[in-house]
């Protein structure tokens, strides 16, 4: 068995080269790909872009695409700075001619100026391009030489030599025919420096995107020289990363693999460290479509802090195997301290690999992570989406999805991660899922993307759900939605916080059902003062009946929890006034959770009944808001976390538009206070992270900073019940946060009990209990039997507002021991003050 050796013939020969003053180490590596099984993944030393355009086939590396700038990054053997030599040799051949002129060759010294990390180099790096053009030209950048037209493209060799010394710097490129006879050569001198990745490129010298260009295969890649270094830490795969949750004694973990030859052999093993060795917990089959393996381990001890190891072996052609491992830590569940929660959303690709945010998360060390959606955007990676057929769409998605795990894997490997897909994750700029209905692309386009349903094949949607959410606690009701699409809404209890994890997209109705205007987008209300009640037809869905039923169950379940928090993708309010640009004024946006209004009010009412806080993302505008239903501030608080990297920009500038407000918070910041929102709701905006008018920057990370990108840290104290929120800017340094690193108005603290709404009216229930520590109180309407209030009391006394018939039933007790007392016939009203006394 070959340990950690995935390529059959890496020759590691240490040679000693002489230079004029001292001896330098030279290393020689070669890849012949002969022993590898046919698969999409090129191996742990390589990263291919776009993923779907490359494969290992019959012992060679093939580029099967026909577009521009297709590349295989050699991530482990970069060219290092300084003087020395290097030599590259590769065998290539034309696979498909296409009908456009193209190129094949290398980019060398590929490096991103802004971020030295190898991940940034792969996607944003620039280097020296060299190779051959299919019109019979050898090139090093702009320098060219022609070669005879009768050259055979079937098989040929490209050789590169770099000589960097005090005397001078030169690159030599040679084209050899199949018989190793020199066809043409070229030297480029006066080169400043070459430092960075070596990349195999196809159509890599074409500035603009094209299709139907040529494609090539590669084989027998050899690299040697004193200027080559080995970066073992850059290896990536075959187990790329893992995400896990643990809740109520069940550990769920999903291992994400690269596209290995899963159809041949696909077993993944999970072990935990015990004593001096490893104890096997479970073995699972690798899913052949998503390349995931999901483990479910019952009877998990939440007090255990333990290292885990995931392993996978792949059969090689010679009967040996390549063995891969990935390790991380399952943390002890925090119960005696506040729970620190990292809130993330929306990763627009220009900010990849989001290193400032990644480093800050590693420093801040949150107990749990939430990626609320848009873990990918369609343009991430710098190449287009493929919608059909399903298998191509899946590979195309995986290539973009892998960027997420490459960026955040080190953060996720050692703490629970909640991850839920949103619209862009399924290639729909806005998603009104309508319960999984199938919609044709043409139909969707005809109605400006406002018909309910999914465009992508169900197989692709299921891969999105498997890759992003299969490690969540078991779904509350796993019955698939239309087209057999899987569903994942669930709850998780961690650190004495009960999280409901739902989708506010999958069941949502499409605006086409109500939009009565003919002009423009049907999800956008551009005219002020239209009759919003016309958009609120009976039967329209927001979270859908199934998830509402789930929340009704969740709101009364306090086992192991002191506080409740709802996690969904977007805010249940329509807050921003400006979309896209500073001129893009919108009166309303039906993509927000403010629409449809009736189901929105219903879910916000449910949240206030159980004092739940709401965490969302999606808006690309950091917000801290108190919801209103009938009155301003008569419901709970919500945070919309900053996007990790903002692409599409939204702003809240009601002051600029002269929109009236009242009760501005004491901090007196612009654009805060009580405003009527786009869908007619009474929103109290406590804090907003507006971006400046001009956000232009040539630098990717600076552009992210200027666009109000960042993340949030939310601390739940299950004893004091305080919820402290900070929205932190992209370029902040978590080691020494300055006030200006938080968005204006943050940090801010509210208490769990504030989530009932300070302006709530109704009947007052006061209770005094003894004999049970922090009992759970449930208040039902005696007439309708509806649950009106559900809370984990803090101490022996509690007072809350309910809105019902005036006659109530109280149930008080301890869900852990199932000791309950029921008190019927409680008559309460607005001024009721004498407490109900309960003794256990
Ligand atoms: Fe987004």
442-446, 471-475, 817-821: least confident range: 442-446
Q: Is the pLDDT of residue 628 over 90?
A: yes
Distance 718 CA to ligand 1 centre (A): 31
Q: What is the 3-state secondary structure (H, E, C) of 301-335?
A: CCCCCEEEEEEEEEECCCCCEEEEEEEEEECCCCC
CA separation for the pair 816, 567 (Å, rounded) = 24
Q: What angle do CA 424, 426, 428 make, to 5 degrees?
A: 55
Distance 427 CA to ligand 1 centre (A): 12
Residue among 188, 219, 187, 217 at smallest CA distance from 202: 217
The distance from CA 310 to its chain's CA centroid, rounded to whole angstroms, is: 22
Ramachandran area for residue 327 (φ above 0: left; ψ -120 to 50: alpha; else beta): beta
Distance 590 CA to ligand 1 centre (A): 15
Distance 616 CA to ligand 1 centre (A): 11
* 124-139 average pLDDT score: 96
366-416, pLDDT tens digit by residue? 999 999 999 999 999 999 999 999 999 999 999 999 999 999 999 999 999
Distance 403 CA to ligand 1 centre (A): 16
Distance 137 CA to ligand 1 centre (A): 44
Contact 386, 52 (CB under 8 A): yes
pTM here? 0.96
Distance 707 CA to ligand 1 centre (A): 13
**Which residues are near ligand 1, the ion (C-beta closer than 5 Å)?**
346, 374
Distance 620 CA to ligand 1 centre (A): 6
Q: Is the peptide bond before 747 cis (omega within 30 degrees of 0)?
A: yes
343-360, pLDDT tens digit by residue? 999 999 999 999 999 999
Q: Which helix (H) or strand (E) holds 405?
A: helix 390-412
Distance 374 CA to ligand 1 centre (A): 5
428-466, pLDDT tens digit by residue? 999 999 999 999 999 888 877 889 999 999 999 999 999
Distance 210 CA to ligand 1 centre (A): 28
Residue 832's pLDDT is 67
Distance 43 CA to ligand 1 centre (A): 32
CA separation for the pair 613, 8 (Å, rounded) = 54
Residue among 248, 824, 337 at smallest CA distance from 554: 248
Distance 529 CA to ligand 1 centre (A): 28
215-229, pLDDT tens digit by residue? 999 999 999 999 999
Distance 375 CA to ligand 1 centre (A): 8
207-211, 559-563, 751-755: least confident range: 207-211
Distance 348 CA to ligand 1 centre (A): 8
Residue 21's pLDDT is 40
Residue 26's pLDDT is 85
Distance 667 CA to ligand 1 centre (A): 29
Residue recorded with tokens 């969904």:
568
578-594, pLDDT tens digit by residue? 999 999 999 999 999 99
Q: Are strands 156-164 and 169-177 parallel, antiparallel or unpaired?
A: antiparallel
Distance 50 CA to ligand 1 centre (A): 22
Distance 503 CA to ligand 1 centre (A): 14
Distance 250 CA to ligand 1 centre (A): 31
Distance 733 CA to ligand 1 centre (A): 24
Distance 24 CA to ligand 1 centre (A): 50
* 743-772 average pLDDT score: 96
Distance 430 CA to ligand 1 centre (A): 9
Distance 313 CA to ligand 1 centre (A): 37
Distance 343 CA to ligand 1 centre (A): 14
Residue among 474, 638, 475 at smallest CA distance from 566: 638
Distance 308 CA to ligand 1 centre (A): 33
Q: Is the pLDDT of residue 23 over 70?
A: no
Q: Measuring CA to CA, how many Å separate 110 from each of 71, 379, 381, 748?
A: 11, 21, 16, 44
Distance 60 CA to ligand 1 centre (A): 39
Residue 446's pLDDT is 80
Q: Is the pLDDT of residue 130 over 80?
A: yes
């Amino acid at each position: 068995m070959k340990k950690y050796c995935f390529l059959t013939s890496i020759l590691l020969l240490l040679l000693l080269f002489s230079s004029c003053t001292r001896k330098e180490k030279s290393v020689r590596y070669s890849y012949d790909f002969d022993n590898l099984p046919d698969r999409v993944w090129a191996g742990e030393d390589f990263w291919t872009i776009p993923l779907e355009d490359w494969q290992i086939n019959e012992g060679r590396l093939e580029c099967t695409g026909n577009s521009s700038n297709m590349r295989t990054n050699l991530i482990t053997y970069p060219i290092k700075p300084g003087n020395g030599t290097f030599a590259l040799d590769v065998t290539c051949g034309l696979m498909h001619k296409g009908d456009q002129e193209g190129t094949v060759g290398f980019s060398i010294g590929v490096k991103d100026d802004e971020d030295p990390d190898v991940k940034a180099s792969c996607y944003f790096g620039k280097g020296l391009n060299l190779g051959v053009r299919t019109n019979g030209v050898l090139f090093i950048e702009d320098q060219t030489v022609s070669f005879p037209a009768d050259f055979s493209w079937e098989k040929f060799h490209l050789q590169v030599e770099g000589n960097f010394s005090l005397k001078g710097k030169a690159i030599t490129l040679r084209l050899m025919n199949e018989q190793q006879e020199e066809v043409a050569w070229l030297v480029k001198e006066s080169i400043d420096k070459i430092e960075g990745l070596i990349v195999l490129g196809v159509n890599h010298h074409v500035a603009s995107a094209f299709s139907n260009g040529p494609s090539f295969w590669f084989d027998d890649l050899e690299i040697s020289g004193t200027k080559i270094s080995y970066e073992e830490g850059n290896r990536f795969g075959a187990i790329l990363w893992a995400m896990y949750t643990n809740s109520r004694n069940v550990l769920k973990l999903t291992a994400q693999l690269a596209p290995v030859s899963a159809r041949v052999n696909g077993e993944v093993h999970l072990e935990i460290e015990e004593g001096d060795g490893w104890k096997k917990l479970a073995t699972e089959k690798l899913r052949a479509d998503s390349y995931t393996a999901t483990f479910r381990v019952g009877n998990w001890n939440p007090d255990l802090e333990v290292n885990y190891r995931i392993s996978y072996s792949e059969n090689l052609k010679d009967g040996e195997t390549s063995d891969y491992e990935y390790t991380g830590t399952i943390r002890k569940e925090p119960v005696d301290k506040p729970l620190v929660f990292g809130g993330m959303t929306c990763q627009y690709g220009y900010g990849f690999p989001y290193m400032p945010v990644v480093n800050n998360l590693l420093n801040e060390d949150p107990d749990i992570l939430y990626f609320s959606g848009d873990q990918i955007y369609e343009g991430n990676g710098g190449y287009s989406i493929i919608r059909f057929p399903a298998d191509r769409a899946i590979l195309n998605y995986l290539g973009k999805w892998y960027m997420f795990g490459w960026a955040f894997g080190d953060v996720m490997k050692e703490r629970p991660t909640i991850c839920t897909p949103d619209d862009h994750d399924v290639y729909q700029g806005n998603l009104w899922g309508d319960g999984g209905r199938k919609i044709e692309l043409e139909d969707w386009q005809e109605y400006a993307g406002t018909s309910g349903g999914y465009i992508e094949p169900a197989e692709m949607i299921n891969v999105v759900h498997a890759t992003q959410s299969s490690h969540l606690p078991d779904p509350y009701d796993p019955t698939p939605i239309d087209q057999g699409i899987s569903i994942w809404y669930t709850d998780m209890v961690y650190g004495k916080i009960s999280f409901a994890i739902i989708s506010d997209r999958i069941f949502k109705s499409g605006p086409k059902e109500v939009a009565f205007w003919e002009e423009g987008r049907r999800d956008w209300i551009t005219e002020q003062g239209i009759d919003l009640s016309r958009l609120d037809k009976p039967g329209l869905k927001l979270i859908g009946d199934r998830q509402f039923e789930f929340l009704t169950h969740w709101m009364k379940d306090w086992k192991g929890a002191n506080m409740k928090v709802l996690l969904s993708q977007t805010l249940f309010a329509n807050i921003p006034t400006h979309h896209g640009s500073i001129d893009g004024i919108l009166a309303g946006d039906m993509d927000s959770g403010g629409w449809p209004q009736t189901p929105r009010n219903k879910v916000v009412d449910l949240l206030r009944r159980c004092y739940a806080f709401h965490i969302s993302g999606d808006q690309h505008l950091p917000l801290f808001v108190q919801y209103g239903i009938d009155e301003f501030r008569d419901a709970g608080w919500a945070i919309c976390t900053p996007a990790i990297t903002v692409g599409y920009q939204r702003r809240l500038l009601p002051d600029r538009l002269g929109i009236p407000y009242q009760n501005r918070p004491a901090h007196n910041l612009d654009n805060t206070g009580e405003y009527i929102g786009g869908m007619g709701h009474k929103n109290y905006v406590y804090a907003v992270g507006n971006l400046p008018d001009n956000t232009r920057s040539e630098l990717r990370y600076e552009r992210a900073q200027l666009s109000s990108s960042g993340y949030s840290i939310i601390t739940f104290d299950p004893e004091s019940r305080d919820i402290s929120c900070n929205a932190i800017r992209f370029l902040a340094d978590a080691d020494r946060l300055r006030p200006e690193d938080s968005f204006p108005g943050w940090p801010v603290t509210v208490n769990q009990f504030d989530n009932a709404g300070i302006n709530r009216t109704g009947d007052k229930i006061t209770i005094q209990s003894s004999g049970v520590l922090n009992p759970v109180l449930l208040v039902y309407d005696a007439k309708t039997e509806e649950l009106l209030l559900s809370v984990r009391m803090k101490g022996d006394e509690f007072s809350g507002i309910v809105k019902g018939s005036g006659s109530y039933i109280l149930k008080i007790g301890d869900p852990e021991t199932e000791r309950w007392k029921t008190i019927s016939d409680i008559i309460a009203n607005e001024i009721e003050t004498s407490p109900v006394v309960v003794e256990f």
